[in-house]
Amino acid sequence: MSEHEPNVSRRTVLTTTSAAAVAGLAGCSGGGGGGDGGDGGSGGNELELLHAWSSGDGNAAIAALIEGFQEEHPDVEFAEEPVDGAARSNLDQVVLNKLQANDPPSTFQTWPGKTLAKFDGAYEDIEGDVWDDDLKENYLAGPQEQAQYDGSYVTVPLNIHRINNLFYNTAVLEEAGVDPESLSSPSDVVDACETIAAETDAVPFAQQTSGGWSTVQLWETILLGQAGIDGYEAFINGNGDTAAVESALQSVVDLSEYYPSDSSSISFTEANTMVMDGDAAFIHQGDWAAGAYSNADDFNYGDDWGQVTYPGTSRSYLLNMDSFPYLANNPSPEATKQFLSYCGSAEGQVLFNAEKGSIPPRSDADVSSLNNFQQDQFEDFNAADNQPPSIQHGLAVSPGVSTNISSAFSGFLEDYDAAATADALINAFN
Amino acid sequence: MRNPLTILRQRLEDHREVRADGGTATEAGSILDRDSVRSAPFWLPPFLLIGLFIYGAIIWNIVLSLTDFQGLGSPDYSALDFENYVIAFVGGTPSWSELTVSPVWNAAWNTVVLMVSFSVVCLAVGLVMAILVDQEIRFENTFRTIYLLPMSLSFVVTAKFWLYMYNVETGLVNIILGAVGVGPIEIVQNPDLKLAAVAFALIWQFSGYAMIVYLAGLRAIPTSHFEAARVDGASTIRMYWRVIIPQLRTATVSALVVLTVFSLKAFDFLFSMYGGYQPGPSADILATRMVREAYANGNWAYGSAIAVLLFIMALAIVAPYIYTQYQRGEL
């Protein structure tokens, strides 16, 4: 207390402080019960958008999308909140807290498909309002299926990253005398690696193994290549064949001979840099790997690097998507639906994906403004027979099963025991 | 301005009569007169805050672990049972899930191994460093700061740093091993070395803390004890072993408690090192398992049950310490 206020005794201050603290506590405990915040009837034009694209290409992409939307709907304001933190685990937590408190955001960034089960019961059907005939005609069957939860359309996929890619450094493959187009099965990749190891100093297959995700997506790609779409779908539906799963794992074990020797200490970025520097020949990744290539000087698509569909999976486009769902008890129903419709438009998707490096899910999108690699991917996408959902990227299996699968692979990375891991993967569904 | 309490006390005193038999002090005034009541404005607010946010939260967590709370919605407190603890100990398919849940033995065992090895080695290294620094060497302060510095780093930095140190090709650990003709050895994903590697990195980070605690303990021992031992002809080792180290009991116990609690929090380290809460079966601890169950699977009640087990483990370490302190009148 300053000496200019002599009338306030210390005790009064203390009493007031503690009273305020108690009042504050009362406020805390009261907050959970009521439906405060959710009743945004009056402020219905402010759209609360939560996403984890707080930096890099993701941030540029969401900014482009919002800018495009606001040109069409200048009356809608955005309370846009990037939630910091690696990937989206932190974002899910924020959304969960808001849902528990009965204060849902307008929409948030999430994987579609089975990941939606995490917030089971929080979505509202938007068939008709957003998912009109135009969307249904122009989304291919695979992405369209992922937009549904329990048979109703609840979310709008915005982009597609492909998982079954094999990227390569052209110079290294030429030196080794390997023609990537000639590879037709996962075991051909192993043979090619052997040739590369014999003919060059480069690491044949750049891979990181400190975290499990790269290995899960490699295995799911090989499973798709070996067991075909039927075998793959049987697995994600919980009816997988142990022998097929083990065979795909064995193929990963064979490939692991050709990993960098320090694969357990490096990150995806470092592995990808090895390909760019000519220190590695192949890398299997989602097409975000190409984002790093296009940002690099003197590393050009077609000349310095190339991509083939992972051998054996040429008829499939293995999906990893981001989407914006519609949450029930929405604070801004009209504005949210307008925004989701824009996310479902070819125009919005092209703006977004031009920055993000992925492709639009709408098969009628005009991709001439995207780069050559994206145009090639889009062509593959429209020509693919099927668009199965990715296991690692949350589309194919529910969160509990996904955790079991990750656990199985965290053990696989320790001992590379294909038989034991195959049993664990089959049991992941029980 | 007269304080209302003072006025009230004055009034009560006016009514008080002195009784020949000494009386039974039952007047209402005696309660207000007590020191504990008069000092209430000072201790009550923090007491309530800590009571609510720490002990209240612990109790709530225990209750939550008895429910079947899972996914969205709110927990049902009407049907409490010990199902989650049964699942934690023997595994099986709980009523709140379609999936089989494995017991927590593996994670619990790893937690104990990490806790014991980390704490004991950390104390030993800290003690040796403290004795060395205590020899009135030159640049003592510099050494002290250097040893303590790793503790100022966050677990995230330490984890990324040691991921690099353990690199098979370029890591310092393998370079040193190579110099003595061993290796190179895969460390980060090696099931036999994983947990030891984590413990080693944590020891590197926290032995400086043990050193500081021991150093303070050593400085508190009068020089006469050292001199008396010397006069009696004790060798340096014998002097420390028989005379000095026994006097460091309090320092050991208080450092041990803090270190143990740190080891229970190794979650951040594993999270950063293995890029998520899947460090693999040979380095999985209760904390990573708990976060996996709660935040990846939404099994809140089961996650709470694991948290309670973790809490009991921490309590088992801290409680004897608090009890001996209490018995010796230091609390």
Q: Are residues A303 and A406 in the same domain?
A: yes
The confidence score (pLDDT) of residue B13 equals 59
Torsion angles phi and psi, residue B273, rounded to 5: -70, -40
Interface contact B73, partner A, CB < 8 A: yes
Contact A262 B52 (CB under 8 A): no
Task: Give the model confidence (pLDDT) of A118-148 as tens digits.
Answer: 888 889 999 988 999 999 999 998 899 999 9
Return the CA Rg of chain A: 25
Q: Are residues A130 and A221 in the same domain?
A: no
Where does B115-284 sit in CATH, by number? 1.10.3720.10
- pLDDT bucket at B9, cuts 50 / 70 / 90: low
Nearest C-alpha of chain A: how many angstroms from B301? 15
* Chain B hits for A9, Cβ within 8 Å: 1, 3
Torsion angles phi and psi, residue B189, rounded to 5: -110, 20
* Chain B hits for A215, Cβ within 8 Å: none
Contact B72 A92 (CB under 8 A): no
Give percent helix, percent strand, percent coil of chain B, each to the nearest 5: 70, 0, 30
Give the chain A residue whose CA is nearest to the CA of B168.
Answer: A262
- pLDDT bucket at B142, cuts 50 / 70 / 90: confident
Contact A403 B296 (CB under 8 A): yes
For range A355-378, the mean pLDDT: 92
Residue among A7, A18, A399 whose CB faces B44 most closely: A18
- Smallest CA-to-CA distance from A164 within A369, A334, A314 is with A314
**Position of tokens 């946010």?**
B53
Helix A333-343 vs helix A346-356: angle between axes, to the nearest 10 degrees? Answer: 70
Q: Are residues A243 and A267 in the same domain?
A: yes
- pLDDT bucket at A385, cuts 50 / 70 / 90: very high
Query: Is the residue at A170 inside a domain?
Result: yes
Residues 74-113 of B with CB under 8 A from A: 74, 97-100
Residue A268 or residue B16, greater confidence: A268
Contact B72 A96 (CB under 8 A): yes
Q: For B262-291, give one letter per residue: b (16+ CB within 10 A) or e.
A: bbbebbebbbbbbbbbbbbbbbbbbbbbbb
Residue among A86, A119, A410 whose CB faces B278 most closely: A410
Return the sign of the alpha-carbon dihedral for residues A256, A260, A266, A271: negative
Taking the whole predicted model, whether its pTM rises above 0.80 is answered as yes
Tell me A32's DSSP state: T
Contact B316, B310 (CB under 8 A): no
Residue from A256, A265, A409, A414 to probe the interface with B (highest B Cβ count within 10 Å): A265
- pLDDT bucket at B5, cuts 50 / 70 / 90: low
* Interface predicted TM-score (ipTM): 0.80
The rounded distance, in Å, linking the Cα atoms of B130 and A130 is 69
* Chain B hits for A119, Cβ within 8 Å: 72
Contact A418, A249 (CB under 8 A): yes
The confidence score (pLDDT) of residue A40 equals 38
The rounded distance, in Å, linking the Cα atoms of A282 and A279 is 10
- pLDDT bucket at A4, cuts 50 / 70 / 90: very low
For range B208-212, the mean pLDDT: 92
- pLDDT bucket at A42, cuts 50 / 70 / 90: very low
**Position of tokens 């999976």?**
A313
Q: Are residues A421 and A277 in the same domain?
A: yes
The rounded distance, in Å, linking the Cα atoms of B245 and B236 is 12
Contact A427 B167 (CB under 8 A): no
The confidence score (pLDDT) of residue B3 equals 59
For range B264-271, the mean pLDDT: 86
- Smallest CA-to-CA distance from A24 within B43, B45, B44, B40 is with B45
A28-37, A204-213, A273-282, B206-215: the lowest-pLDDT one: A28-37
Contact B297 A403 (CB under 8 A): yes
Residue A225 maps to which CATH number? 3.40.190.10
Residue A39 has pLDDT above 70, yes or no: no
Interface contact B139, partner A, CB < 8 A: no
Query: Is the residue at A92 inside a domain?
Result: yes
Residue among A22, A209, A429 whose CB faces B189 most closely: A209
Q: Are residues A223 and A303 in the same domain?
A: yes
Q: Are residues A254 and A130 in the same domain?
A: no
Query: Is the residue at A34 inside a domain?
Result: no
Residue among B42, B167, B292 whose CB faces A262 most closely: B167
Number of other CB atoms surrounding residue B219 within 10 Å: 9
Query: Is the residue at A105 inside a domain?
Result: yes
Residue from A10, A94, A261, A264 to probe the interface with B (highest B Cβ count within 10 Å): A264
Task: Give the model confidence (pLDDT) of B112-138 as tens digits.
Answer: 999 999 999 999 999 999 998 888 778
A–B interface: beta-carbon pairs under 8 A:
123
The confidence score (pLDDT) of residue A38 equals 37
Task: Give the model confidence (pLDDT) of B46-92 as tens digits.
Answer: 999 999 999 999 999 999 999 998 888 788 888 888 999 999 999 88
Residue A333: exposed, middle, or buried by beta-carbon count in 10 A (0-12, 13-18, 19+)? middle
Query: Is the omega angle on the peptide bond into residue B184 within 30 degrees of 0, that is, cis?
Result: yes
Task: Give the model confidence (pLDDT) of A272-302 as tens digits.
Answer: 999 999 999 999 999 899 988 988 888 999 8
The confidence score (pLDDT) of residue B12 equals 55
The confidence score (pLDDT) of residue B232 equals 86
Give the chain A residue whose CA is nearest to the CA of B189.
Answer: A414
Query: Is the residue at A12 inside a domain?
Result: no
The rounded distance, in Å, linking the Cα atoms of A127 and A124 is 9
- Smallest CA-to-CA distance from A221 within A141, A278, A282 is with A282
* Structural domain for A216, as ranges: 165-318+392-427
* Chain A hits for B276, Cβ within 8 Å: 89, 211-213, 406
Return the CA Rg of chain B: 27
Question: Residue A86: which region, alpha, beta or left (left: phi > 0; alpha: psi -120 to 50)?
Answer: beta
Q: Are residues A121 and A178 in the same domain?
A: no
Task: Give the model confidence (pLDDT) of A107-122 as tens digits.
Answer: 999 999 999 988 888 8
Q: Are residues A279 and A334 in the same domain?
A: no
Number of other CB atoms surrounding residue A112 within 10 Å: 27
- Specify the pairing of strand A148-149 against strand A152-153: antiparallel
Return the sign of the alpha-carbon dihedral for residues A210, A213, A214, A220: positive
For range B215-227, the mean pLDDT: 89
Nearest C-alpha of chain B: how many angstroms from A65? 29
The confidence score (pLDDT) of residue A13 equals 47
Task: Give the model confidence (pLDDT) of B176-194 as tens digits.
Answer: 988 898 878 888 899 999 9
Q: Are residues A338 and A348 in the same domain?
A: yes
Q: Are residues A211 and A313 in the same domain?
A: yes
Spatial strand order in the sheet of A107-108? A77-82, A46-51, A107-108
The rounded distance, in Å, linking the Cα atoms of A258 and A252 is 10
The confidence score (pLDDT) of residue B28 equals 55
Task: Give the model confidence (pLDDT) of A318-363 as tens digits.
Answer: 999 999 999 988 998 999 999 999 999 999 999 999 988 899 999 9
Which of A21-35, A227-241, B310-324: highest mean pLDDT?
A227-241
The rounded distance, in Å, linking the Cα atoms of A61 and A364 is 20
Nearest C-alpha of chain B: how many angstroms from A263? 8
For range B130-154, the mean pLDDT: 86
Domain boundary among A347, A366, A383: A383
Contact A402 B42 (CB under 8 A): no
The confidence score (pLDDT) of residue A88 equals 64
Give the chain A residue whose CA is nearest to the CA of B160.
Answer: A265
Q: Are residues A146 and A135 in the same domain?
A: yes
Residues 171-230 of B with CB under 8 A from A: 171, 184, 186-191, 194
Residue B283 or residue A24, greater confidence: B283
Which of A255-259, B11-15, B72-76, B152-156: highest mean pLDDT?
A255-259
Interface contact B43, partner A, CB < 8 A: no
Q: Tokens for A120, please give them.
A: 């089971």
Spatial strand order in the sheet of A305-309? A203-206, A280-283, A165-169, A305-309
Q: Are residues A185 and A273 in the same domain?
A: yes
User: How many domains, in total, are found in chain A?
Assistant: 2
* Chain A hits for B107, Cβ within 8 Å: none
Contact B297 A266 (CB under 8 A): no
Task: Give the model confidence (pLDDT) of A74-93 as tens digits.
Answer: 888 887 777 765 456 678 88
